[in-house]
Structure 1
């Protein structure tokens, strides 16, 4: 099945993400005066300098900027992988500063899906087994897990590749498996860091179109870091970063 048909298949998915703990009228993500510095003294690197923005529910918002501009730092902080030095992050009505380590782990497992440039698939597992890993961690019953895996592989156009391992798949196919895995636990937020960085232009565009389609079909909100102008055009909104600050915020 082609990349494009996989994107079209997204529209057929009826199941949505977890119910929201916040107010449906509120933004999914609120970032206020975010500060993050790495190192100390003369070698300190100010990765973020008072960054503020909101991500409305159901939108795909892209972050663009040169390497070192702060894109990945923002994704790590919003995704609960790191903690800021100052400022506040609210995700689906939850203030991340108030969470302990176990609560952060549960947040990442149950409410956030991650897609990385390097795919991050487990080589010895099949495509279906890779997609099922997040649900195994949540101890989802086998039948429910298998049904969700089949649904998601169909969603990304890989129903016929369920038994293949990552090494037997193309780069575009591996990234589509990674997207399916990120959606396994019906997250409210999808975070993608340069998801097309290892793909050629045509495959990368198809993968970005797939992300656009699953945002619509699954009702998920997405925050995506990319530098590709063609991919940025598919976003609802683009935030441009430079030296740890947002220098532009507008429609793609």
Structure 2
């Protein structure tokens, strides 16, 4: 019998990824703690996300949204079940393979922005490409394009402390797109923003999904933002349901 070395090689190997959904989640279980005090965050969660969709994940605080996003993004491992991203089964990857996947194929956007204070907006956007050792000329061109895409072409030299919250989150969106990911994962990306600015950021994410051809999974509790999604998944008591497709799903 030939040993399957894929789990040890650290290389992300995809089998005809274009033939399936961007994300496939199958029977995910994740608990914290043991015995009677164990918290069962996910209880057999399954769903698919087709390519090119913006899918919103809603649920009350503590419902397990961040746990689910971490599993889809390869930041955590399930107790049971399987996650496939862009044709790659995450359970078949070693740590090097997961690092490669997160660097090259998944972009993360967080509520706290996560920008490096001493770097300019342009330098923050360029960080993922530096880690990937992208050619400097190509990197600078991509940074310029992305800052223009998020409406910050005139703010390249400003540091995070000189930008508003909405502008900082736009920089974070640009940074998440730096390495041309197939999947964007956003955890309450508008949680620290006022309603008007939050709506503008969500509209930007929708435009990015359409314009850049990426897929997005966005956790949010804001009903106004949920209306911009192609689909809404509701996470309750460790289970996912789909209340229905938004009116924009087929436009």
TM-score (norm 2): 0.91
Match in the other structure for 1:176: 170
Alpha-carbon offset, residue 43 of structure 1: 1.6
Match in the other structure for 2:238: 244
Equivalent-residue separation in structure 2 for 1:194 and 1:54 (angstroms): 21
Alpha-carbon offset, residue 21 of structure 1: 6.4
Q: What are the residue-to-residue correspondences of 1:105-124 with 2, within 5 Å?
A: 105-124=99-118
Structure 2 counterpart SS, 1:105: helix
Q: What are the residue-to-residue correspondences of 1:7-86 with 2, within 5 Å?
A: 22-86=16-80
Structure 1 counterpart SS, 2:17: coil
Match in the other structure for 1:192: 186
Q: Deviations over 1:181-210 (max 9, x none)?
A: 000000000000000000000000000000
Alpha-carbon offset, residue 246 of structure 1: 1.2
Equivalent-residue separation in structure 2 for 1:24 and 1:96 (angstroms): 17
Match in the other structure for 2:10: none
Match in the other structure for 1:10: none
What is the aligned residue count?
Answer: 233
Could you list the structure 1 runs, at least 4 aligned residues long, displaced by more than 6 angstroms after superposition. none
Match in the other structure for 1:6: none
Q: Deviations over 1:88-136 (max 9, x none)?
A: 1111111000000000001000000000000000000000000000000
Q: Which has the higher contact order (CA 8 A, sep 6+)?
A: 1
Equivalent-residue separation in structure 1 for 2:198 and 2:88 (angstroms): 33
Match in the other structure for 2:206: 212
**Which consecutive residues of structure 1, in runs of 5 or more, have no partner in the other structure?**
1-19
Alignment of 1:152 with 2:156, yes or no, is: no
TM-score (norm 1): 0.91
Match in the other structure for 2:225: 231
Equivalent-residue separation in structure 1 for 2:82 and 2:39 (angstroms): 20
CA contact (8 A) 2:208 2:214 kept: yes
